[in-house]
Chains A and B, each alone.
Chain A
Amino acid sequence: MNLSILKSDKKNLNSFIAVGSTLIFIGFIDIILSSFFSTNITSFLPDKISYLTPLLFGLFGLYLIRIEFSGNKLLDKVNTNFNSSNFNALLTLLVIFSLIKYIPPLLNWFVFDANFAGNTKEDCTSGGACWVFVKVWLNRFVYGLYPDSEQWRINTAFITLFLLVGGSFFVPARFKKYIIIFLLFIYPIIGLKLISGGDFGLKYVETGAWGGLSLTFIVSAFALILCFPIGTILALGRRSKLPAIRYTSIGFIELWRGVPLITVLFMSAVMFPMFLPDGTYVDKLIRVLIAITLFEAAYMAEVVRGGLQALPKGQYEAAKSLGMGYWKMHFLIILPQALKLVIPGIANTFLALVKDTPLIFVVGLLELAGMVNLAKTNPKWLGMAMEGYVFAGLVFWVICYVMSRYSQNLEKKLKTER
């Protein structure tokens, strides 16, 4: 042994591995003991140093086993991926240690200490999450204040929708076109009529009673379907050669992009009715839908314009040279390519739209997050905000994750470049 004891090399490979892994092991033991059994094996040291000991042990251990081309496959893999430098070693340890420290308490709260049984707040005794709250309120979280006896109408509307969408993937390409047209133009009206009622012997349910997750879906779906074509037309308008069309589009886009959604919603509720002639009444939900649609359409327009500008001039020229006019050129050549280019941006706007829907509370409509908000103020269920919002967050995450995955699949499917 000489001075090079701190410089790892291949000659003493095994002893370095032995010493190194022992040190790392001690570091892990230290962190596990302190986070699960509240015992601190280094309590004789000053507080601050004692807190850092697992990190120091781990770092030194990782330093000792950092031997290039050791011949040991596992060791090489660890070194190249997690331990390529002191800084990377530090990051690796920090990530692993924080996972050890913080995941178990989270799991405890979520599952192991959580309460599932019972019907009242008093049944939640074990200290973890009180999922009883969500269980009891689930019906309201999904259907809002919609009368229980009529909820089959919402169910029917959505199940039919899912069946139609699902079915469109399996029918032959020839009929697909008709199903999509039906889905986009006719079904929304049927669905709305079914849910609102008033005719065909269905009881009328005013939109103020709609709410919960089903309202989230209704608002999102309508805004998504409508904001896309409007945004596309605005994007084309902004690139038009005719000044009247161009400046109208620019003005429209910049106006809506420059205003916060919450003010737009507020105005749609308070100011818009003032412009209507006396006696006419536009439903609150419809006003909100129009407001959200126009707001998101302005964003969509800029996303689509990005795609239009990314296309080479040659595509326009080739289309023109084949005798295509403006609309044929755009619908057959330009838009299919431009929209494909900006699928990530479109998905981004759609996700933002879905997550913006809770803002409709300003006009008194309560979708999922709004219902949670309402439920947590119920005197029998005070103090359940955490459970409610975590639940709402999870539901939103699932919706958005599904949309994000779908957009990624679409990107892959439409990819024709090599």
Chain B
Amino acid sequence: MSKIIELKNVNKWFDKFQALKDINLEVNQQEKIVICGPSGSGKSTLIRCINRLEEHQDGKIIVDGKEISENTKDLEKIRAEVGMVFQQFNLFPHLSILDNCTLAPIWVKKMPKKDAEALAMKNLERVQIADQAKKFPGQLSGGQQQRSALARALCMEPKIMLFDEPTSALDPEMIKEVLDAMVDLAKAGMTMIVVTHEMGFAKEVADNMIFMDEGKIVEKAKTKDFFENPKSDRTKLFLSQIL
């Protein structure tokens, strides 16, 4: 399996606060990685650097063979290949669910409207929300909105999907419907990097686990090893509190 994401000695500062310290990470195609850690540990910042919603100041980030830097033209192409699902859904409230899904394919990928709509319906079907296509985001529940956001990202037919705490803003009973959709996606062979506290999901889906604290990757291990015999004391402490 070939590398699709590579981070080399990545450092990032917010003013004087160092959010990421010397991050090294390789992600292979179809690999599923779950990142966990206490809040403020830099998990979100890490995956937001991968599609440059945050800028890193030092080190190299290479996505699908292209280095991410200030070269804007490339950047938009890379972002189009990297789907992202946010904690707060971030659907476009002035557009219907269907338009949310077709907008980027039509305007960024120049897809004909008919094809874009067919693609959108296919993806909405996939997250089981096709019957809500004509509604506006404000009329849907949190779980439905997050699944719509997933469908919207999938409509760009991305090679990589990033999830930034996708279930943290949801009511407990809606978490499952979103996780189910993500499990389906994982089984279909998508490359996924997921920041989440849902350890059940991690055990079921993840190939590798990453534990972060204070901007550093404290531990990276196969999922089974990570849960059964974590090496660092910090990881043990975290797992004992969360499980």
Residues on A facing B (Cβ under 8 Å): 312, 314-315, 317-325, 328, 332-333, 336-337, 340, 414, 416-418
Q: B77, B90, B156 — which one has the most chain A CB atoms within 10 A of its CB?
A: B90
A318–B92 CB distance below 8 A: yes
Chain A: minimal CB distance from B147 (Å): 15
A317 and B53 contact, Cβ closer than 8 Å, known pairs A416-B94, A417-B93: yes
**A contact residues around B83 at 8 Å (CB):** 321
CA distance in complex: A312, B82 (Å):
22
20 additional A-B pairs beyond A314-B86, A315-B92, beta carbons within 8 Å, are A314-B89, A314-B90, A320-B51, A321-B51, A321-B53, A321-B84, A321-B153, A322-B103, A322-B153, A322-B156, A323-B81, A324-B76, A324-B104, A332-B103, A332-B107, A333-B103, A337-B93, A414-B94, A416-B93, A418-B139
**B contact residues around A416 at 8 Å (CB):** 93-94, 136, 138
55-78 of chain B: CB within 8 A of chain A:
72, 76-77
**A contact residues around B41 at 8 Å (CB):** none
**Pick the contact of B88 from A314, A319, A320, A337 — CB < 8 Å?**
A314
**B contact residues around A321 at 8 Å (CB):** 51, 53, 79, 82-84, 86, 153
**A contact residues around B107 at 8 Å (CB):** 324, 328, 332
**B contact residues around A317 at 8 Å (CB):** 53, 84, 86, 90
A323–B92 CB distance below 8 A: no
Q: Is B111 engaged at the interface, CB distance under 8 Å to the other chain?
A: no
A336–B94 CB distance below 8 A: yes
List the 7 closest pairs (A to B, CB-CB), nearest first.
Answer: A323-B80, A318-B90, A322-B104, A314-B90, A321-B84, A417-B138, A416-B136
Q: B53, B149, B152 — which one has the most chain A CB atoms within 10 A of its CB?
A: B53
**B contact residues around A314 at 8 Å (CB):** 86, 88-90
Tell me how many residues of B have a C-beta within 8 Å of chain A.
Answer: 31
Contact with A along B152-182 (1 / 0, CB 8 A): 1100100000000000000000000000000
Q: Is B108 engaged at the interface, CB distance under 8 Å to the other chain?
A: yes
CA distance in complex: A325, B139 (Å):
29
75-132 of chain B: CB within 8 A of chain A:
76-77, 79-84, 86, 88-94, 103-104, 107-109
Q: A314, A322, A332 — which one has the most chain B CB atoms within 10 A of its CB?
A: A322
A323–B104 CB distance below 8 A: yes
CA distance in complex: A318, B101 (Å):
12
A-B contact pairs, 16 of them (CB 8 A): A312-B88, A314-B88, A315-B90, A318-B86, A318-B149, A320-B79, A321-B84, A322-B153, A323-B76, A323-B109, A324-B104, A332-B103, A332-B107, A340-B94, A418-B136, A418-B138
B108–A324 CB distance below 8 A: yes
A323 and B103 contact, Cβ closer than 8 Å, known pairs A314-B88, A317-B53, A328-B108: no
19-72 of chain B: CB within 8 A of chain A:
51, 53, 72
**B contact residues around A414 at 8 Å (CB):** 94
**B contact residues around A318 at 8 Å (CB):** 84, 86, 90-92, 149
CA distance in complex: A333, B100 (Å):
10
CA distance in complex: A340, B86 (Å):
24
**B contact residues around A322 at 8 Å (CB):** 79-80, 103-104, 108, 152-153, 156
CA distance in complex: A328, B79 (Å):
14
Chain A: minimal CB distance from B178 (Å): 17
**B contact residues around A333 at 8 Å (CB):** 92, 103
**B contact residues around A328 at 8 Å (CB):** 107-108
CA distance in complex: A366, B139 (Å):
52
CA distance in complex: A328, B93 (Å):
17
Residue of A nearest to B96 (CB): A416
Chain A: minimal CB distance from B232 (Å): 32
Chain A: minimal CB distance from B226 (Å): 28
A320–B94 CB distance below 8 A: no
Chain A: minimal CB distance from B93 (Å): 6
Residue of B nearest to A315 (CB): B90
CA distance in complex: A319, B86 (Å):
12
CA distance in complex: A55, B92 (Å):
57
**Pick the contact of A323 from B79, B94, B136 — CB < 8 Å?**
B79
CA distance in complex: A312, B88 (Å):
10
CA distance in complex: A244, B108 (Å):
28
CA distance in complex: A328, B53 (Å):
17
**B contact residues around A320 at 8 Å (CB):** 51, 53, 79
**A contact residues around B89 at 8 Å (CB):** 314
CA distance in complex: A322, B89 (Å):
13
CA distance in complex: A199, B25 (Å):
73
**A contact residues around B153 at 8 Å (CB):** 321-322
CA distance in complex: A314, B139 (Å):
19
A337 and B94 contact, Cβ closer than 8 Å, known pairs A320-B53, A416-B138: yes
